Amino acid sequence: FPLIGEVPFEWGPPSNSVEGKFRKAAVTTDHAICSEIGGNILKRGGNAVDASIAVMFCLGVTNPQSSGLGGGFLMTIYNRTEGKCLAIDARETAPAAAHRDMFRNDSDGSKYGFKAAGTPGELAGYWYAFTHHGSGRVAWKDLIEPSAKLCRDGVPVSEYLDNVMKVKERHFRLFPSMKAWINPLTNSTYKVGDLLPRTKLAETLEKLANSNDPVKLFYRGEMADTIAREMAEGGGIITKEDLASYKPRVYQQLANTHFRGNLVMCGGPPPSSFVVTQLIVSVMSALYPEKHGTDILSDPKAMHHFIEAMKFAYAQRTLLGDVAFVKSAETLAKNLTSEAYTKWVVERMKDVAQPSAYYGGIAQSQVPDHGTSQVSVLDEYGNGVSSTTTVNRWFGAAVESEAYGIVWNDEMDDFSTPGMANGFGFAPSETNFIEPGKRPMSSMSPMVIFDEETKEVLMVIGGSGGSKIISAVAKAIVRPLIFGESIKQAIDSPMVHNQFTPDITQIDDSFPKVELFDFGGETCTAILRSDVSWCGS
């Protein structure tokens, strides 16, 4: 890296992505078809929760590599009337037969096959959100039918899905339940522009759409019987009892109320990484208390501060775990959102990087999480919803329900396993070991920023892309709110990432005047208030 102040950065041209501007409401997602479905729900009088559910049903069809009914999600809901947030945790859970050593010396067992699947929370979370926080102006089936029709008509294969299926073709052929992902006309994976039929999933969605109690059907009824049987036949450990005992968790507002004037950042507790993401933003806001122009971004010192803030924040992630099982994580989460903790980090900030021990935390590794889909919605009533949904790795465990066309997650791979260090030699995180009923840590950080005084939403944001979600979302908040960029400029800007374990800074290939280091992809969807309109990217 250049020495601080030695070489000013020169940022590259904007991307070809479009920044939309909306007067009343906005929906931003990873797929245009799904954004349109969400927008139609809003036009029919639905609220941000209704639209988010409809979009996530759709993403399970268009982005099967990243999300679907076989996975789970985290959702942050801001209610304009109450002026507060709540968080829904519908993450997958470890089945009752799971134990901390089940994947010792069997790293592939947590990634591939039915044993890799955790009890899915996706549908239970949707139903809870709809029945407790939906508008009441649209029916449950209205949220599902567009996605069922898409399955019937065939899903247009995107370039990205084409590329992912090429990578996963070996697994499609290895696991018999995935044979439908091979085009029978070509004996190869489906290509860009092909229509990918998902007939079994269409039948499943229609059954759920027409049910008066889809959770009973899926988790305790005939579908649960079939799912449990398929799991057992495939070597999995999810039972009907695991399905019947699944419940989404709901948390009242966890928030940083001090980071900039009247603005509040809100999200959920661990296993969400909201508290890690907000700390990066809070530290940068404290270092740059007055709104600066974008010229400050050409000063390497600002980038150095961002990297150091990431290191302090990610260092604490190694101490976090499911708050229902790791009581110290609940206390730490509250501390990380406090003004005192931000001040502590700022006071320790130096103009040069320090040894790893300086940043707090412990030298333990977090399991790298993977693909996700992000949904950001703002409705005309002033409510904001940020949701991140996942099946973990591409196509989850690479197995599917033959009866229902549901791709199962490999969320057991998001837990840590005793005695299995990562590629850099760091010990596994003890707070993230497997326990029955536990939910693995995630980098997912769906959050909402609002003005506590006016109750107006300023930003609805989240990201996809594994462990880099935290740095990507923090960047997309810091650059507009602190340094005055547009939301498109912020999301387009090159990525910089340091997750403390390892203490290595990775940079995007478009980063100015610096040699390229290793970097993986990330995406971010956000809605930002701009004057009297909303900008989505």
Phi-psi region of 421 (alpha: psi -120 to 50; beta: other; left: phi over 0): beta
Give the C-alpha distances (Å, rounded to integers) separating 492 from 17, 177, 381, 468, 511.
Answer: 8, 39, 29, 15, 11
**502 upstream amide cis, omega within 30 of 0:** yes
Please check if 466 is assigned to a binding site.
yes
Phi, psi (degrees; rounded to nearest 5) at 461:
-150, 155
Please check if 429 is assigned to a binding site.
no
Q: How many helices (H) and strands (E) does the chain have?
A: 15, 21
303's tokens: 């980038």
Amino acid, single-letter form, for residue 109: G
Go through the chain and tell me how many residues it has: 537
Please check if 193 is assigned to a binding site.
no
Residues 6+ apart with CB under 8 A from 322: 270, 271, 329, 438, 439, 440, 441
Residue with tokens 């649209």: 138
Stretch (H or E) spanning 283: helix 274-287
> Cα–Cα distance between 89 and 77 in angstroms, integer?
11
Residue with tokens 């993986």: 520
Amino acid, single-letter form, for residue 270: P
Please check if 298 is assigned to a binding site.
no
Please check if 44 is assigned to a binding site.
no
Please check if 387 is assigned to a binding site.
no
For CA atoms 462, 463, 464, 470, give the dihedral sign. negative
Contact 223, 404 (CB under 8 A): yes
Q: Which of 76, 204, 337, 372 is catalytic?
A: 372
535's tokens: 């900008």
Give ∠ CA 484-485-489 in degrees, rounded to 5: 170
Q: Which residues of 193-297 form beta strands (DSSP E)?
A: 195-196, 249-252, 254-260, 263-267
Half-sphere CA count of 132, side-chain side, radius 13 A: 14
**Cross-strand partners of 264:** 450
Please check if 401 is assigned to a binding site.
no
> Cα–Cα distance between 69 and 47 in angstroms, integer?
22
Neighbour count for residue 409 (Cβ, 10 Å): 31
Contact 220, 244 (CB under 8 A): yes
Contact 417, 444 (CB under 8 A): no
Contact 537, 491 (CB under 8 A): yes
Is 337 a catalytic site residue? Answer: no
Please check if 136 is assigned to a binding site.
no
Please list the active-site residues: 372
**Residues making up the binding site:** 91, 390-392, 414, 442-443, 466
**Residues making up the binding site for L-glutamate:** 91, 390-392, 414, 442-443, 466
